[in-house]
Structure 1
């Protein structure tokens, strides 16, 4: 047990992929796909267990960005002191006790099945003077400290003594997050670096290219992907597809649901295909446990994952597992990969591409060929 018993050190996380190794000379890079979930609370719609089962059936790792407030009972909301907002305020609702217990249950299960537990912070403030867009690095540190405390002290805050602890040390587990509404990354990154975080997934408007670090932290942005029927790309998240379909409502015309569902599925698969058949850039998909427009985006995500799983070289992993792989690659190899534009295949194939740069036989950080 750690602290008040809300969390516990149960040893090495189960169900992890093999230890990552550097690319061999001229080797085709894997196609990484990372499915992630903002908020990651179970609110009685069965979506958390649905996607745990989907991941289990297809050998997928995922990242669940847990909102700290989802483990704080509303009766204790005054424990939350959000920067630039009233005490206890939140732009997302507090969970009922029953849903808080379900969130604990599925968070335990997620980690035990090999998934990553990151953070979506707390109050989800996107507008007005209290928006996370305006927070300073010090305020981000306060927000993170509070998110960690709500996860690591839920037993004290709820008074529940018959619930099992979360089976991980959150201080070690937490190595990255995604900000509300993809806002505020510039001031978050100094705080993230100070805390030893390994990545941040908050940047909006990324492109399907190999990533780089900002402030010493891997910057893993949601990406623009093809949007069938349109000449522009759409951001690789359920909400952004919705915003281009039913505009400002989550309850659009039911008669349009089948076409929108098909369009969302095709968009995810087009983004995957564009990377898989060309530069092999990692593909990030952001989601919420939601039932917008009749749940069509949840269906689209499921169908897209099924369409990607099992293909040669495809690895469905968490953000943490992906940066584990990045961190053992030779920096010169990653630089070479970053030279490929969106949808650009390596000229002459992967072996020739690496040979042309003189990186086909370089030694990786572990001494193995990369």
Structure 2
């Protein structure tokens, strides 16, 4: 479905001669889509850094938010994931109300800047054994936490007037923690009204697929390292390969170069080839001395300013696939 919607568009370019204009229309290639996403979206410092990165080249990212990042530790007992004791979360909680309030400001400003806020559930638990109702409970908790977040963190007077509608209608995408997608999750996503799921893994870049009203995106395997071994295009997977999941800042520059080479090579293969949408995933954690964030900043700076590259969110990627055009940039705030 989506592949067929992205046939090459045709249009006349400025001709070398008038005769050429009459006889030789030139095919214009589809834009190369690059989707950058962040799981968890915790650190306020990295919220600021990612937004600044995007502004330089008019890129728009997707932030898969874990809702416990808006619950202060003092209130953590109010959250209970399916099958878990109250107050448990694999990604912790906001250290204070002030910290959570600052994150709310980042979320709203990012939304106004054209970025996408999507759901990563709440406590980052592996839901492989959860039922449809378990997932629906977690989705409901996510909505409840977000709707009450400004009041709960002592800044109710700052809540944007559009916030409630944004939570109700503006969060349309989901990525499962640990990419743990199941049939029960799919059923719950449809029931909850999600438009797309980005929990998939593919052997390489592939077109999103339509599945009973739910659009499915899959992070690709890409070649990496001196032997071009395949690895998921996500910072955490590089972290595990490079240093077995243990921070090794002494090799940070080496890891950055390897990561950048892998990202850029995967990008170039599509940009110079079929132009299948490319996706990379990141976390709000600076692993191996920040190697992967620096590699990301280099990639975004190198490619996102090109006229025929669309560095967009998942939702906007669907629009570009259908129309071949980006949406207009949001008004300056």
TM normalised by structure 1 equals 0.76
User: How many residues in Structure 1 have an aligned counterpart in Structure 2?
Assistant: 301
Would you say the 8 A contact 1:207–1:224 is kept in 2?
yes
Correspondence 1:228-243 to 2 at 5 A = 228-243=225-240
- Higher strand share goes to which structure? 2
TM superposition shift of 1:195: 2.5
The residue that corresponds to 2:130 in the other structure is: 135
SS at the partner of 1:132?
Answer: coil
The residue that corresponds to 1:109 in the other structure is: 109
Q: Deviations over 1:263-318 (max 9, x none)?
A: 01111111111111111110111111112111111111101111212234110111
The residue that corresponds to 1:33 in the other structure is: 34
The two structures, once aligned, show a CA RMSD in angstroms of 2.1
The residue that corresponds to 1:87 in the other structure is: 86
The residue that corresponds to 1:285 in the other structure is: 280
TM superposition shift of 1:225: 1.1
Q: Does 1:155 align with 2:156?
A: no
TM superposition shift of 1:206: 4.7
TM superposition shift of 1:135: 1.1
Q: 1:172 aligns with which of 162, 169, 173?
A: 169
Q: Distance in 1 between matches of 2:229 and 2:57?
A: 31
Q: Deviations over 1:189-235 (max 9, x none)?
A: 11112222211111134521222123321111111112131232111
TM superposition shift of 1:85: 1.1
The residue that corresponds to 1:325 in the other structure is: 320
Runs of at least 5 residues in structure 1 that lack an aligned partner in the other structure: 1-19, 126-130, 330-370
Q: 2:302 aligns with which of 302, 307, 312?
A: 307
4+ aligned runs moved over 6 Å, structure 1: none
Would you say the 8 A contact 1:185–1:203 is kept in 2?
no
Q: Distance in 2 between matches of 1:229 and 1:132?
A: 35
Would you say the 8 A contact 2:101–2:155 is kept in 1?
no
- Higher helix share goes to which structure? 2
Q: Distance in 1 between matches of 2:139 and 2:28?
A: 40
Q: Distance in 2 between matches of 1:89 and 1:294?
A: 28
TM normalised by structure 2 equals 0.84
Would you say the 8 A contact 1:81–1:87 is kept in 2?
yes
Q: 1:23 to 1:193 in 2, by over 3 A?
A: farther
More displaced stretch, 143-152 vs 201-210: 201-210
Q: Does 1:267 align with 2:267?
A: no
The residue that corresponds to 2:17 in the other structure is: none
